[in-house]
Amino acid sequence: MPTIDALANDLSTYLEPVQVNLVRRAYYYAAEAHDGQTRRSGEPYVTHPLAVAGILYDMHMDHQSLMAAMLHDVIEDTGVTREAVASQFGEAVANLVDGVSKLNKLDFSTQAEVQAENFQKMALAMAKDIRVILVKLADRLHNIRTLDALAPNKRRRIAKETVDIYAPIANRLGLHNIRMEFEERSFWMLYPMRAPLIEAAVRSASGNRKELVQQVQSALELCLTRENLPGRVLGREKHLFSIYRKMRNQKKSFREITDVFAFRIVTDQVDTCYRILGAVHNLYKPVPGRFKDYIAIPKVNGYQSLHTTLFGMHGIPIEIQIRTEEMDAMANNGIAAHWLYKSASDRPNQSHIRARQWVQDLLEMQKHAGNSLEFIEHVKTDLFPDEIYVFTPRGQIMELPAGSTPVDFAYAVHTDVGNACVACRINRRLAPLSEPLQSGQTVEIIASGSNPNPAWLSFVVTGKARSNIRHFLKSQRRSEAITLGRRLLNKTLSNYGYHLANIPKEKVGGLLEETNFEVLDDLLEDIGLGNRMAYIVAQRLLPSEVSGIPENVEHGGLAIRGTEGLLLTYAKCCHPIPGDPIVGFISAGRGMIVHIEACNNVADFRNDPKKCLSLRWDPGVEGEFWVELRVEVEHQRGIIAHLANAITGCEANIEKMTMSDRDAQISVINLTLAVRNRIHLARVMKRVRLIKSVTKVMRVRN
């Protein structure tokens, strides 16, 4: 069992004596706070924070991170407050401890909500101090090492959360060693029967191939010596979880996965990496299309290396990674290398800069997410392991998850560019916004004053794009709901000779207090969404002597302009168009649905002022409206073409067409058309009737 003295002795190799003493003091403070508490394994609880600090020592983290590791559970599990930690150890340490602490004071309905809220809180703390996530990852690493004492169902839950969230985060921050340990240990917890079988198969295969591996390694070393190139050749061990994942994702057998030999060549400088690449390509023939240059274009987590696959002896594939010593350290330690190899004059490395940018993106997503579950959904989406690399018109490289579209690219450039995006060019040709991008393409966004399209949510990949589109649509929906709510309330009040502007402020304030709304806009939004009836609200705002249904109702109804937006929809049962007599049905959560007065679906509510509202078309109504036609025709070759020509000749669009036989002589064609109003529809129907083989044309309602 590690002791504080042993850890202090190790820390003295790179920390000042004063700093080591501060870490000691934090340990004794934690030991006193956790006095009497034990872990499930029976050990004193303080052994856990000590072990977490030990993991951070391996990364050569600073003394404040180590102090936070010692104290990371005192706020959560003891009576110690954040203020007490701040007064004893300073604000920086208190912020780190608070960021890692869970939200244990609130009640949540589901375990998923608990996890989501905790992660959201930690993400906000990460934005202030990136070290929060390193302390959290070290905490999770020690927990996953000591899961044996827990019940099997709890072990599986923690292992799944680790694989889903913490392993991808470690990968995103370039912490390769921590990610591999997360995945390996979680694999044993999640698949206790598969893991030992794969391990036994790997052990057996390794024994059989030992001599062959040695021959390949010797050939590579001899090649470097012959070409006078410095470098060490290391065999790369394939991990159980990565073997299992490849078998499952690529649908390959165990033998196909493990028949690949993997080596890493570590050298002194970048120039030598490319010279070694040429040498190994002369030694064995390269597999076409399997070379990747992550030195020129690093991965999104800062990883750099040359990857190539060769046809080795007996045709066996050999995977080779070529990198410098510094790149190897970065690949294993990622963002932690900022502290591990830091000197007083060092500026933050690329991995640290990228990590900070990622955290800033997280913060933007959190601002736009509706709740913690939506936020964590965006984060999971953003932790894709595979990237593509595309170029802006000026040659700047942008990293995006595999499958990204031009809309994802637009939001990666800037939120405002994404919101105003209307079209794009890929390699100078106009392309659909939904087209998946490929590495190496140049993408140009054409922007104007338009707004995000709700249809984009069906194809965007990045969390940043998804959260920004949703945020915009929510804001637009709220704005439209307030406008519609105000119109509905004023229309109802006008039937009694009143207007919202004439209602005393005290009356409005009293109603807001009664309905638990802070401002009038919130109440109007609720009315616009259909959650609260304008008729009921009007009754509460009117003077007590005015009540009941008014005798002199203003004729004409609320005017429909056709530009109301998301909160006003046209019923698909009767397809109302300008010129039809209409009524509005208030639907909870959806706003107002416009029906034709004679529609069967509103027959029961037509005279109920709480559910239905009299409407009229504004003289300046604009837009296209869907309508259904039923056309009966005699069988004749080319009738569909004649029909389509007649309709498009009247400037109407055909959205949908279906055809069926009524009998041996007559076919029935059902059409969905876009028209401007009833006059336009009458013109279309007249033109269709002139076709010789058409026997009947009628508009379909209900």
Percent of the chain beyond pLDDT 70?
Answer: 83
Q: Which residue type occupies 18?
A: V
Q: Which residue type occupies 234?
A: L
CATH of domain 194-340: 3.30.460.10
pLDDT band at 552, cuts 50/70/90?
A: very low
Quick count: other Cβ atoms within 10 Å of Cβ 392?
A: 15
Q: Average pLDDT, stretch 30-51?
A: 87
What's the confidence (pLDDT) of residue 369? 64
> Whole-angstrom Cα distance, residue 479 to residue 485?
10
What's the confidence (pLDDT) of residue 370? 58
Taking alpha carbons only, the member of 238, 239, 221, 217 closest to residue 230 is 221
What's the confidence (pLDDT) of residue 271? 92
What's the confidence (pLDDT) of residue 276? 93
Question: What tens digit of pLDDT does each residue of 346-373 get?
Answer: 555 566 666 666 666 666 666 666 565 6
Least confident of 41-55, 120-134, 357-371, 483-497: 357-371
With H, G, I as helix, E, B as strand and everything else as coil, classify residue 26: helix
Taking alpha carbons only, the member of 307, 285, 287 closest to residue 296 is 307
Return the C-alpha torsion angle 217, 222, 228, 232, nearest 10: 20
**End-to-end alpha carbon distance in the chain:** 78
Is the pLDDT reported for residue 339 higher than 60?
Answer: no
Place of tokens 């616009």: 528
Domain 4-189 top-level CATH class: mainly alpha
Residues with Cβ within 8 Å of 107's Cβ and at least 6 positions away in sequence, in order, are none
Token output for 248 = 């499952």
Is the pLDDT reported for residue 546 higher than 70?
Answer: no
pLDDT band at 105, cuts 50/70/90?
A: very low
Residue 260 C-alpha from the chain's centroid: 34
Residue ranges with strand state E in 251-291: 261-267, 285-286
| Residue predicted with more confidence, 252 or 323 | 323
Query: What are the residues facing 628 on neighbouring strands?
Result: 672
CB 328 within 8 A of CB 344: no
Question: What tens digit of pLDDT does each residue of 625-683 get?
Answer: 889 999 999 888 888 888 888 898 888 888 888 888 888 888 899 999 989 889 999 99
Out of 150-159, 238-247, 488-497, 675-684, the most confident range is 675-684
What's the confidence (pLDDT) of residue 107? 45
DSSP assigned state of 542: S
What's the confidence (pLDDT) of residue 272? 93
pLDDT band at 108, cuts 50/70/90?
A: very low
What's the confidence (pLDDT) of residue 363? 64
Query: Which backbone phi and psi does 150 adopt, to 5 degrees?
Result: -90, 165
Least confident of 291-295, 367-371, 416-420, 450-454: 367-371
Question: What tens digit of pLDDT does each residue of 428-450 get?
Answer: 899 889 899 987 788 999 988 77
Is the pLDDT reported for residue 304 higher than 60?
Answer: yes
Q: Average pLDDT, stretch 62-87?
A: 88
Question: What tens digit of pLDDT does each residue of 240-291 get?
Answer: 888 888 888 778 887 777 666 789 999 989 999 999 999 999 988 998 888 8
Out of 198-202, 366-370, 481-485, 673-677, the most confident range is 673-677
CATH of domain 386-461: 3.10.20.30
Query: What are the residues facing 265 on neighbouring strands?
Result: 233, 322
Catalytic residues: 76-77
Q: CATH homologous superfamily for 625-699?
A: ACT domain (3.30.70.260)
Quick count: other Cβ atoms within 10 Å of Cβ 530?
A: 23
| Conformational region of residue 556, where left means phi above 0, alpha means psi within -120 to 50, and beta covers everything else | left
Percent of the chain beyond pLDDT 90?
Answer: 14
Domain definitions of the chain by residue range: 4-189, 194-340, 386-461, 471-617, 625-699
What's the confidence (pLDDT) of residue 425? 92
> Whole-angstrom Cα distance, residue 566 to residue 407?
22
Is the pLDDT reported for residue 423 higher than 80?
Answer: yes
DSSP assigned state of 110: S
CB 526 within 8 A of CB 486: no
Q: Average pLDDT, stretch 55-78?
A: 87
pTM: 0.60
Q: What is the mean pLDDT of the chain?
A: 81
